[in-house]
Structure 1
Amino acid sequence: MNWKKEFIDFSFKKKALKFGRFKLKSGRTSPYFFNSGLLSTGKDITKIGLFYARSIIDSKMKFDVLFGAAYKGIPIVVATAIALKNYYNLNIPYAFNRKEQKKHGEKGDLIGREISDKNIIILDDVITSGTAIHQSIEMIEEKKAKISSIFVLLDRKEKGKRNLHTIHHLNNKKSYKIISIITIEDLISYLLRDTNLKKHIPELTKYREKYGID
């Protein structure tokens, strides 16, 4: 729990992790919310890159290129590439997608390293029901690349286009492993140890019972 606790401590300190009532992209009203956009200083993003790099190394996953899902995945993928070089001496290329295809200059829907026929790790900040990540999956598969895994800071582990720790492409039903720094269960375990934050557990548990996966 030490590594997970370090990340949760950091998220609360930076006010990136909050409790209240929040409308999610999925349409659900959540009692908690994580906003990685608030981790916006050089020191913050350096620390986030190291969290990802450590997680990737620990996974022993085979990969050639890091892919950042626009928009929040863009600073994440850059920070992670830097951390892999500085702390593990791995000079890994990265790429990220545009929300809209560019029709002039270099054109295309990607910036960075060509990903065709490569083993790709997707980096994003949060996964909820799995809806948003499908755009990145479709783009990568269209480039004939192979997805090794998906890494996120927080896996909310909610019902949707996914099953347990796998996410399923709508057309070909391929499964991809999700590796997270923390999950909703880790957050609840953390709250249980904090007398000031325990009060949020009933709402989180109720929400988890309604929308969560095992």
Structure 2
Amino acid sequence: MSDSSNRADFVRFSLEQGVLRFGSFTVKSGRVSPYFFNAGLFNTGRSVGRLAGFYAQALVDSGVQFDMLFGPAYKGIPLSTATSVALASHPGLQGRDVPFAFNRKEAKDHGEGGMLVGAPLQGRVVIIDDVITAGTSVRESVQIIRNAGAEPVAVLIALDRMERAGADDALSAHSAVQDVAATYGMPVVSIASLNDIMALLQDNAALAPHRDAVAAYRAKYGV
């Protein structure tokens, strides 16, 4: 599968699942966005299985060399688990069995204890999450991985909104994704981006009424 078809298929799948919607949505930043992407709505076995397949394909297509996955609590827990399952059967990995780990929000004081669950953090680690907004989850993950003596090599997300942060009169120079890549010196791999959403709007006549609003939003806030 080509990188571009994986991207396009993922955007269509997100639309079918109601994860990607068009309209008028007040997002966490207070902005009114003409589209909304909520990966939490991938919430059935079949949909999460397909989502994991898209993550696995994006990671293989990226060419990033990695040894294991790390999922920040809480959203990263099912994502790291499901994506490691998808990678196990991916032909590009030739039978490699990819370990995964995730963190707890609260330290466990009994049993094995500690903040980490899963495989030991070692080697080259890919952090997997749904989106990057403030970058807080990435910062915490990088610290956890480095503290364990391992090396964070990439962040893998579902959607890059390609959007600058800040008030309308004081917009950041870069998007959250660009800032993370620059801060940690590692790539942020996304299954799809706002570019792919724009391509869907161009190709789908039923969605034509939303084209101008998304284009205007991108002109104002995009990178």
Superposition TM-score tier, normalisation by shorter sequence:
0.7 to 0.9
Give the equivalent residue in structure 2 for 1:32. Answer: 35
Query: CA RMSD, aligned part only?
Result: 2.4
Give the direction of change, closer, same or farther, for the CA distance of 1:207–1:94 in structure 2 (3 Å limit). same
Superposed displacement of residue 112, structure 1: 0.7
Q: Mark the runs of 5 or more structure 1 residues left unpaired by the alignment.
A: none
Contact kept, 8 Å, 1:65 with 1:120, in 2: the verdict is yes
Give the equivalent residue in structure 2 for 1:120. Answer: 125
Match of 2:204 among 183, 194, 201: 194
Contact kept, 8 Å, 1:81 with 1:93, in 2: the verdict is yes
| 1:175 matches 2:203 | no
- 1:149-180 deviations in Å (ceiling 9; x for gaps): 1111111112248946644489xx43221111
Give the equivalent residue in structure 2 for 1:90. Answer: 96
Amino acid paired to 1:18: R
Secondary structure in structure 2 of the residue aligned to 1:197: helix
| 1:17 matches 2:27 | no
How many aligned positions are there?
210
Contact kept, 8 Å, 2:52 with 2:83, in 1: the verdict is yes
- 1:31-66 deviations in Å (ceiling 9; x for gaps): 211112221222111111111111222222111110
Q: Which runs of 4+ in 1 moved over 6 A?
A: none
Among the aligned pairs, what percent are the same residue?
Answer: 39
Give the equivalent residue in structure 2 for 1:105. Answer: 111
Give the direction of change, closer, same or farther, for the CA distance of 1:84–1:192 in structure 2 (3 Å limit). same
- 1:113-148 deviations in Å (ceiling 9; x for gaps): 121x42110111122453443332333233332111
Give the equivalent residue in structure 2 for 1:41. Answer: 44
Contact kept, 8 Å, 1:130 with 1:162, in 2: the verdict is no
Give the direction of change, closer, same or farther, for the CA distance of 1:39–1:168 in structure 2 (3 Å limit). closer
Alpha-carbon distance in structure 2 between the residues aligned to 1:135 and 1:21? 32
| 1:62 matches 2:65 | yes
> TM-score, normalized by length of structure 1?
0.86
